[in-house]
Amino acid sequence: MSAQDVKQVDARALWQEAFEGARKRDVDFSSVSGSKLKGLYGPEDASVDFARDLGYPGQFPFTRGVHATMYRSRLWTMRQFAGFGSAQQTNERFKFLLEHGQTGLSTAFDFPTLMGYDSDHERSRGEVGQVGVAISSLRDMQTLMDGIPMADVSTSMTINGPAPILLAFYIACGERQGVDPKLLRGTVQNDILKEFQAQHAWIVPAEPALRMITDVMGYCSTHVPQWNTISISGYHIREAGSTAAQELAFTLANGMEYVKRGIAAGLDVDDFAPRLSFFFDSHIDFFEEIAKFRAARRIWARKMRDTFGAKDPKSWMVRFHTQTAGVTLTAQQPENNIVRTAFEALAAVLGGTQSLHTNSMDETLSLPTEKAVKIALRTQQIIAEETEVAHVIDPLAGSYFVEAQTNRLEAEAEKYFAEIERRGGVVPATEAGYIQREIHRSAVGYQAAVERGSKKVVGVNCYEEDHDRTPTIEIHKIDPAVERDQHQRLAEVRKKRDAAKAKSAIDDIRDACKGTDNLLERFVAAAHAECTLGEIAQVLRDEFGEYKEPKIL
């Protein structure tokens, strides 16, 4: 032992004594996910084999990022989620965002669309255009993309149960614009497992839903090769109340299930895995989130290479979109949400995200106003242009704390993988409600912690102000005329189309449901024949039945 070592040991003991003896603030020193935190982390907490666990950016296991240059070559894509009201209104918002420097489109759909109902369905009453845009037909999609060069933008569509149908509308819309599907770029979320687990917009049960997903992977690998066929999403799992570890574990477990399904459907893993992308939440616990993103990359790389035998390094990479955490926003003192969002966005950037949506301050109250959306976008621009954080790749690597958290999250995720395996895999574990129950337990625990005051939320359980119920900021409301107009548009579509052609397209889908032909191919044909979303989804319901949630509580 050298003299210097002795001195260090003494220093540590000295610090330990000072630390233990001192009075601490009376708060719960744990992460927002409830993981206990030490006051100081050192080398003994962060066992990292540099080559094995970190490596270099753009190299296995990608802990430090998926590109060699990261933001030095290209900043992340600033992709604000938008969609409300009619296709025409959303089209205008898209153009507004593109004019203000946004680099990709991201579409939010209304609940009827998400559930596969046309705007004029009985169940759609009052919901048309409310939380996203209403798209019931190819014609609506054409209005949505009007004047936007589809060969040049990348479009993300947050849709799951009916994802293959909306993708069919998009492909057909491109063809009508004269764009070869091979040139289309974008993403459909298409992640049905997390719908069953957390977000709850579905049409058919798990098995036929998973078949449609492999149909999309199969069809796109030849016809729409630049399309990201699935965005495996932790966002909704987290928003439903999960911890960081649960978000990580369930998302990657879902991802692995899709990979298994693709392989079982006869696809070569390296043909479809590079088109899988991910979507995470960036929550308020800064370091835990950064560690989560790093752990996600490392776990996936290991699984893909070692478990699934993928050979193409692109198959090993977690490329991901991030959205700041909607659940952390408060209706009280809504301007504070700008600050929360800024920290969450910074964590996503330091975690190496490929694209980012920053929430608007008014999102807990209603759809965001234009002003709020602009501030949210500017938040990203300030991080990108002013803070200088984007100059250095994975700047927090080697931090004892961040490496320890990265290791912890990986270990916790592995525990969940084992438990899910014990329950027969993701699908049985979901059908039995296990994953939902885990999420619910965390959500209830967090709520109780907030109400006890052991977790603080400014404006809610500390630093409250007398506020009346009426929000102090301007809010955005949807005109009921949107619903009426949609009814009219749909009536027109149904009247004008070639009825025989539409019917035979529907019959073809029915046949494909009974057999094994690629459903996406039939959906594209049906889109061209002007069949509506609801009509196509109804065939699926007739043939496959409807998903029914298990009892969780």
Partner 1 sequence: MNASPDITERFKRGDKGAVARAISWAENGDPRFATLIADVYSKVGHAWRIGITGPPGAGKSTLVNEIAKALRTRERTVGILAVDPSSPLSGGALLGDRIRMEERTLDKGIYIRSMASRGSHGGLSRTTVDACDAMDAFGFDEIVVETVGVGQAEYDVVSAADTVVVVLCPGAGDGVQAMKAGLLEVADVLAVNKAELPGADRLIMDLEEAVHIRLAGKSTWMTPVVACSAARGDGIEDLIAAVERHREHLKAHDLDGIRREKRLAQVHRVLDERIAEHLWSGGGFGERARALLDSGRSPYDVVAELFSALLAEHRHQKNGAK
Partner 2 sequence: MTDRKIRVLVAKPGLDGHDRGAKTVASVLRDSGMEVIYTGLHQTPEMIAEVAVQEDVDVVGLSILSGAHMELFPRVREELKKRGLDHVLLTGGGIIPGEDMEKLESQGFAKLFGPGTRTDAIAEYIKTEMKRRWAHTS
Ligand X SMILES: Nc1nc2c(ncn2[C@@H]2O[C@H](COP(=O)(O)OP(=O)(O)O)[C@@H](O)[C@H]2O)c(=O)[nH]1
For tokens 């991910």, what's the residue?
278
- Cβ 428 to ligand X, closest distance in Å? 8
SS (H, E, C) 458-508: ECCCECCCCCCCCCCCCCECCCCHHHHHHHHHHHHHHHHCCHHHHHHHHHH
User: In b/e form, how buried is each residue of 507-522, taking b as 16+ CB within 10 angstroms?
Assistant: ebbeebbeeeebbbbb
Q: Is residue 123 a contact residue for partner 1 (CB under 8 A)?
A: no
Q: Of the two residues 207 and 511, which places its CB atom closer to partner 1 in the complex?
A: 207
| Closer to partner 2 by Cβ: residue 234 or 241 | 241
| Closest approach of partner 2 to the CB of residue 228, in Å | 23
Tell me: does residue 495 bind partner 2 (CB under 8 A): no
Distance CA 350, CA 344 (A): 10
316 is an interface residue for partner 2 by CB under 8 A? no
* Burial state string for 446-482 with b = 16 or more CB within 10 A and e = fewer than 16: beebeeeeebebebebeeeeeeeeeeeeeebebeeeb
Does 431 engage in binding with ligand X (CB under 6 A)?
yes
For 109, phi then psi, to 5°, come to -105, 160
| CA nearest to 16, candidates 47, 44, 49, 35 | 44
Interface with partner 2: number of residues (CB under 8 A): 44
Tell me how far CA of residue 297 lies from CA of 63, 173, 350, 532, in angstroms. Answer: 5, 35, 14, 39
Helices of type H across 362-477: 370-385, 400-422, 426-431, 434-452
Residues 382-441 that bind partner 1 (CB under 8 A): 424, 432
If binding is defined by CB under 6 A, does position 440 make contact with ligand X? no
109 CB-side CA count, 13 A: 30
Segment near partner 1 (CB under 8 A), from 156-164, 311-319, 442-450, 544-552? 544-552
23 touching partner 1, by CB under 8 A: no
Question: Which residues, numbered 102-131, are part of the site for partner 2 (CB under 8 A)?
Answer: 111-112, 114-115, 117, 122-127, 130-131
Asked if 432 interacts with ligand X (CB under 6 A), we say: yes
Q: Among residues 185, 193, 314, which one has the least CA distance to residue 255? A: 193
CB of 433: closest distance to partner 1 in angstroms?
8
Residues 184-213 that bind partner 2 (CB under 8 A): 195, 199-201
Q: Does 403 bind ligand X (CB under 6 A)?
A: no
Token pair of 344, please? 């969450």
Candidates 72-80, 235-243, 529-537, 545-553; binding stretch for partner 1 (CB under 8 A): 545-553
User: What single letter denotes the amino acid at residue 110?
Assistant: D
Q: Tell me which of partner 1, partner 2, ligand X, none is bound by residue 424, counting a contact when its beta carbon lies within the kind-specific cut-off of 5 to 8 angstroms.
A: partner 1
Query: Which positions lie near partner 2, rule CB under 8 A?
Result: 111-112, 114-115, 117, 122-127, 130-131, 195, 199-201, 239-241, 330-332, 364-367, 440, 443-444, 447, 451, 457, 459-460, 468-471, 475, 478, 549, 552-553
Query: Which positions lie near partner 1, rule CB under 8 A?
Result: 424, 432, 548-553
